[in-house]
Chain A
């Protein structure tokens, strides 16, 4: 049988037969587009004139003083239109949606960044947009719910299961099974059935391609380590991809440790999970002895997911990338530190990568150059952070 979409023993397709036709159609549309100079030029032009690409690199000198003196470089995906890396994938898939002749997109969202990006692309391209969001997350990320509505999207609060990202994906898949003829499911990370992990990576790999050139120009060499937070893993694979052949460059994914992996209240899927199938793909999963998905926990809505992209599972198993867990408190400390030392308020998701840099920088010492994917800005998190730090609103 076909091995398309496999990463070692991970990936593949575990979906109702009803979706196979749409997944095949999408795979063909994506492969065709990737070999079509017109498509690539259209997307590049959108990124130049709408997203704001290439994103710049900022050296974080004052922050670096807390990281053992290693030089720290931030790839500023937070400066993209809509405030995170998510727009890279969304614009690519929205163009594909139009090419497939579909009029409606649906999306899941945790932090709301992918939902906002999807609503934005739908407005730009004249598509109908429905965003599924766990009820719990609609409260944690109320500002982004309002943004999506202002952009003309319908936001559906999901009340099943744990009422977070996992359940929003379930609900989006149910919608897709029902409306697949005219609807594209604009999945927001490198998870899900083939071709999503490959396609979403292809739309984000521009991050690492730009960064590789920028780092060579800035420092004359490749960085020693690249760090990114990992929820589903899209911003991480986006910045890792161009460096995978550079075996001397360490690739480090930072998962959400929540209250601590040892407490069981976390979202560190590779660190604390086991191989299994969730949402159409085989990867690491937080699950119990019966194969039931276990609820994840994280202060960061965008990392609060009990699965992870299959390519990360593979990179982990072959030892090309390493994955570590960062607890809520360490992430929030790094969130505060970057805000106060660099004047950049990061997304709480991103703060996990920054906390990782504080540790890895000390491990590697002052000669090291660290590149961090600053995947998003923290505007959406002001309420959560104010609560956490006891700032009255």
Chain B
């Protein structure tokens, strides 16, 4: 049982949803990222996803693309990602890494899974890894006892939902809409439909991501989802802030709001 499994069980017992924050390693800077993680943890997020910045992020909209570019220009590498993961787990929250597949393959599949575990991480979200290409990865996650977290989409049909969730650990990442990451003003109605379809085939906790940025949205999702994932909204605040200090204040404020949101949904 990973720390993430424990967190998802705890929020279920508290009859609420978990708040899960995403931030790319090395953004807004190496030190800034560590401070942002601390600010998010202090503000009450339950889990943190550390993004591995990648040169060709086809699932990401302009906000995360820009953050990844800034991070890569700063020289972020695999070692930095694991160090950042350690910063997150040291705050006491559950932490996972979110990465496109190629950096894992390049690092070494078994070594990557083990480095996640060695740094206290609970699992890895792999948005472009299909279950058909997962044999080596799943074996590695079992050996290192971490959660393989897969993303499902509104277009995923029921039999495939069953197949994908049967390989998944920690939680099922339900993409709220057909599209890339970014902030949206409303949460698509596809989300509740997808969550009920996942519930029909799996007992795993389900976290909803893509487009969530406000307390209201968090509240409405928390009514039926086990976790609410917020990324672009935090990154946008950090990108737009006049100073790092102000950016940290802004994400702390938003995280506190969202933490209220995930507690008022039911």
Query: Which A residues are within 8 Å of any B CB, using their own CB?
Result: 1-2, 12-22, 160-161, 166-167, 170, 173-174, 177-181, 276-280, 285, 287, 289-293
Contact = CB atoms under 8 A, between A and B. Distances in A.
A20 B128 contact: no
Nearest to A1: B132
B199 to A, nearest CB: 17
Contacts of A173: 58
Given A17-B130, A21-B160, A276-B105, 9 more contacts: A1-B133, A12-B130, A14-B129, A16-B59, A18-B155, A18-B175, A21-B155, A21-B157, A292-B72
Contacts of B128: 14-16, 280
Interface stretch (B32-40, B49-57, B240-248): B49-57
Contacts of B54: 291-292
Interface of B: 54-62, 65, 69, 72, 77-78, 101-107, 127-135, 150-157, 160, 164, 175, 178-180
A173 B127 CA distance: 14
Contact of A285 (B60, B78, B102, B154): B102
A17 B56 contact: no
Contacts, number: 118
B117 to A, nearest CB: 20
B102 A291 contact: yes
A180 B130 contact: no
Contacts of A285: 102
A161 B104 CA distance: 21
Given A16-B127, A287-B106, A178 B178 contact: yes
Nearest to A291: B106
A203 B106 CA distance: 33
Contact of A12 (B132, B160, B179): B132
A293 B102 CA distance: 9
B114 to A, nearest CB: 17
Nearest to B153: A18
A287 B106 CA distance: 9
30 contacts: A1-B131, A2-B132, A12-B132, A13-B130, A13-B132, A14-B102, A14-B130, A16-B59, A16-B151, A16-B175, A17-B150, A18-B156, A20-B155, A20-B156, A161-B69, A166-B56, A174-B58, A174-B59, A174-B180, A177-B178, A177-B180, A180-B155, A277-B105, A278-B56, A278-B102, A287-B106, A291-B104, A291-B105, A292-B55, A293-B56
Given A289-B106, A291-B105, A279 B133 contact: no
A285 B179 CA distance: 26
B102 A20 contact: no
A276 B180 contact: no
B133 A14 contact: yes
A370 B80 CA distance: 52
Given A14-B101, A277-B105, A170 B130 contact: no
Contacts of A13: 130, 132-133
A300 B73 CA distance: 27
Contacts of A19: 155
Among A17, A22, A178, A181, residue most surrounded by chain B Cβ atoms (within 10 Å): A17
B92 to A, nearest CB: 29
Contacts of A181: 155, 178
Contacts of A178: 178-180
A179 to B, nearest CB: 8
Contacts of A292: 54-55, 72, 103
A174 B61 contact: yes
Contact of B107 (A1, A16, A179, A291): A291
A170 B62 CA distance: 12
A16 B106 contact: no
A167 B62 CA distance: 13
Contacts of B127: 16
Nearest to B175: A18
B58 A161 contact: no
Contacts of A14: 101-102, 128-130, 133
Contact of B102 (A1, A170, A277, A289): A277
A221 B180 CA distance: 53
B77 A290 contact: yes
Ranked nearest first, the 6 interchain pairs of A and B with the lowest CB-CB distance are A291-B106, A18-B153, A291-B103, A178-B179, A173-B58, A291-B102
Given A14-B101, A291-B107, A170 B56 contact: yes
A293 to B, nearest CB: 4
A277 B54 CA distance: 12
Contacts of A280: 128
A17 B55 contact: no
A166 B58 CA distance: 11
Contacts of A15: 128, 130
Given A1-B135, A177-B180, A292-B54, A276 B153 contact: no
Contacts of A22: 155
Contacts of A276: 102, 105-106
A279 B101 CA distance: 11
A222 to B, nearest CB: 38
A177 B58 contact: yes
A182 B151 CA distance: 22
